[in-house]
Chain A
């Protein structure tokens, strides 16, 4: 037989359990709502851009016109070409450097202060604000090396900016290759470089590619460093073509040409008071966000698939 006191206690305990269960429930709802903030922002942002920019997005001339003082006839052509060329320089500078640096740090670097110094610098560079890279480029590339406000300056700046991204992704990918693969290669007499070249690089290729795509997506959308080198100008011409019809078929004049890129064009439209230009800015925003979302989405999906499929 339970006495009164025990029943009372039991009820109290039950009430307490109820209360705590309710807390759990309430928190899981708050948690879900908090997670939704990101998703909702992303959706609102995208829909808002499309709603504001659709008249321009649908007109073909927007993609084939140069910027103009009149909002109605201003287009993205020079920005599209400029972004592609700058990205080419960024790719060619950041990817080989980043992959080589990562290979050194993972496969070669001895455990000493020198390797530590490099490691600390890589992780520090990843956290340096992008506008600081712009100041570096302004002082070093534009004036000391006298490259001017050109495609090569912008490309190298963004290359430096995404170097840590490429290094970190490549290292992670290399680290996931089991040591047994390397030992098997050494056992048949391969040198270190043969092991790295024939095995390590090949097996980590997928991971390197994801890192490169994420880095390039970041570079396409970067605005601050490019503005800092002083590239916010009115560009109504195209750089000289990199490929020519006459021998030697390649032409490097475009590297020193003035340029504009997508985010810069969007910024210059956005900073005008006229509402008509804001439509152009929104349309440019849709293009930028689509390109980065597709690239990032592809990379994230690829990484996810690799994680699932690879079993050593």
Chain B
């Protein structure tokens, strides 16, 4: 037995080792490539970690000077003044007011658009409208800021006399229009995922399209639609340029959309535009504000994600 193997080995050794080494190289190359690709994918994790790391690190410096209780309960935000006060509430109220106005516009229009696109529209209408909605979603926000300040606000001032040049109403309306495409297309996806048999069952009972859409399709797709709303809210909260241009720069604890007020994002822009020394409390304050923003959007995104997961598993 042994000799046979030896003979075999002797005669074949050159080729086998040759092929084995080639194979080894091939495997090595494959492993190296896989590792490089893995590193590229891992960059997503690193980016998230870096974002959280930077926000927490700079906020830590901020909270060494400011107590968290003051930060969350004080009603005045003036970090750059002589006697600085650090209450985030005015920025949060501004953010929520703008978001509220945006939702009043985007939720009805977005939902009706989605129902129409999914249940009423002919193939041709859908194929024409969806690209236009996508184009609208691609318009840069700075252009929307211009539109809010120099078109919507003058228009509103004709309807509402005494409306200040900077106000949260016009920014809210424009942000609302901006997030219509997100809400409409995500809701439509959810509605189209509802199985045809459910619609057919409803039609067979003599229901009209409208009844089917409202009483069968919408309830069946509700978690997807809610997820769309939540993601829309998250977008509205994080929107920056429109509010920085058109809503005003003064932190103001109010929920009246006719007033001017700064949002969290507008405050960050305002401070970043000035030349604050690195490491100063003003510099750190934008990271603390950013942390609040990040936590708000992160929570919403997670809730939205979970809601959406639930509907996609149901059918």
User: Which residues of A approach B to under 8 Å, CB–CB?
Assistant: 20-21, 23-24, 27-28, 30-32, 34-35, 37-39, 41-42, 44-45, 48-49, 52, 96-97, 100-105, 108-109, 117-118, 121-125, 127-136, 138-140, 143, 160, 163-164, 167, 191-193, 214, 217-218, 220-224, 227-230, 232, 263, 266-267, 270-271, 278, 281-282, 285, 288-289, 292-293, 296-297, 300-301, 304
A-B contact pairs, 15 of them (CB 8 A): A20-B210, A31-B116, A37-B177, A38-B136, A45-B139, A45-B151, A48-B147, A129-B235, A130-B238, A136-B51, A140-B50, A193-B34, A223-B141, A230-B275, A278-B150
B290 close to A221 (CB less than 8 A): no
Chain B residues with CB below 8 A from A300, complex form:
131, 134-135
Whether a CB of chain A sits under 8 angstroms from the CB of B117 is yes
Smallest CB-CB A-B distances: 3 pairs: A221-B140, A129-B238, A31-B116
Give the nearest-CB partner of A214 in chain B: B138
Chain A residues with CB below 8 A from B138, complex form:
214, 217-218, 221, 292-293, 296
Assembled-state Cα–Cα distance A97/B46 (Å)? 13
Chain B residues with CB below 8 A from A102, complex form:
41
Nearest CB on A from B188, distance (A): 11
Chain A residues with CB below 8 A from B241, complex form:
223-224, 263, 267
A124 close to B273 (CB less than 8 A): no
With A221-B143, A230-B272 in contact, do A132 and B134 touch (Cβ < 8 Å)?
A: no
Q: Residue B240 contacts which of A108, A129, A278, A288 (CB distance < 8 angstroms)?
A: A129
Assembled-state Cα–Cα distance A309/B211 (Å)? 37
Assembled-state Cα–Cα distance A118/B40 (Å)? 10
Assembled-state Cα–Cα distance A140/B290 (Å)? 15
Taken residue by residue from 33 to 48, chain B's Cβ proximity to chain A (1 for < 8 Å, 0 otherwise) reads as: 1101110111111011
B47 close to A125 (CB less than 8 A): yes
Chain A residues with CB below 8 A from B112, complex form:
30-31, 34
Q: Residue A121 contacts which of B48, B208, B235, B244 (CB distance < 8 angstroms)?
A: B48
Give the nearest-CB partner of A118 in chain B: B41
With A35-B113, A42-B132, A135-B286 in contact, do A27 and B57 touch (Cβ < 8 Å)?
A: no
Nearest CB on A from B109, distance (A): 5
B37 close to A35 (CB less than 8 A): no
With A38-B132, A49-B146 in contact, do A163 and B44 touch (Cβ < 8 Å)?
A: yes
Q: Residue B44 contacts which of A125, A288, A296 (CB distance < 8 angstroms)?
A: A125
B177 close to A41 (CB less than 8 A): yes
With A167-B44, A192-B30 in contact, do A130 and B140 touch (Cβ < 8 Å)?
A: no
Nearest CB on A from B125, distance (A): 8
A34 close to B239 (CB less than 8 A): no
Assembled-state Cα–Cα distance A230/B146 (Å)? 21
B146 close to A127 (CB less than 8 A): no
Nearest CB on B from A219, distance (A): 10
A191 close to B26 (CB less than 8 A): yes
User: Which residues of B approach A to under 8 Å, CB–CB?
Assistant: 26, 29-30, 33-34, 36-38, 40-45, 47-48, 50-51, 54-55, 57-58, 108-109, 112-113, 115-117, 120-121, 127, 129, 131-136, 138-147, 149-151, 177, 180-181, 208-211, 213, 231, 234-235, 237-241, 244-245, 265, 268-269, 272-273, 275, 278, 286-287, 290, 293-294, 297-298, 301, 305
Assembled-state Cα–Cα distance A100/B313 (Å)? 29
With A135-B290, A163-B44, A267-B241 in contact, do A128 and B113 touch (Cβ < 8 Å)?
A: no
B245 close to A37 (CB less than 8 A): no
Assembled-state Cα–Cα distance A100/B32 (Å)? 13
Q: Residue A23 contacts which of B44, B109, B208 (CB distance < 8 angstroms)?
A: B208
Assembled-state Cα–Cα distance A193/B272 (Å)? 45
Q: Say whether chain A's binding surface is mostly helix, strand, loop, or mixed.
A: helix
A100 close to B143 (CB less than 8 A): no
Residue among A24, A34, A100, A167 with most chain B CB within 10 A: A34
Assembled-state Cα–Cα distance A300/B268 (Å)? 34
Nearest CB on B from A235, distance (A): 15
Chain B residues with CB below 8 A from A21, complex form:
208
Chain A residues with CB below 8 A from B129, complex form:
35, 39
Chain A residues with CB below 8 A from B209, complex form:
24
A281 close to B146 (CB less than 8 A): yes
With A125-B47, A227-B269 in contact, do A101 and B115 touch (Cβ < 8 Å)?
A: no
Chain A residues with CB below 8 A from B139, complex form:
42, 45, 221, 289, 292-293
Nearest CB on B from A170, distance (A): 11
Q: Residue A45 contacts which of B34, B47, B143, B301 (CB distance < 8 angstroms)?
A: B143
Assembled-state Cα–Cα distance A232/B273 (Å)? 6
A228 close to B44 (CB less than 8 A): no
Assembled-state Cα–Cα distance A220/B231 (Å)? 23
Chain A residues with CB below 8 A from B245, complex form:
267, 270-271
Nearest CB on A from B99, distance (A): 12
Nearest CB on B from A4, distance (A): 25
With A38-B136, A221-B142 in contact, do A45 and B147 touch (Cβ < 8 Å)?
A: yes
Give the nearest-CB partner of B290 in chain A: A135
With A35-B113, A48-B151, A223-B141 in contact, do A131 and B177 touch (Cβ < 8 Å)?
A: no
Nearest CB on A from B217, distance (A): 13
Instruction: Known A-B contacts: A45-B144, A289-B140. Give 17 more (CB < 8 A).
Output: A27-B116, A34-B112, A38-B133, A42-B135, A45-B151, A48-B150, A121-B44, A121-B48, A129-B240, A130-B240, A131-B293, A136-B55, A223-B140, A267-B145, A270-B146, A281-B146, A288-B140
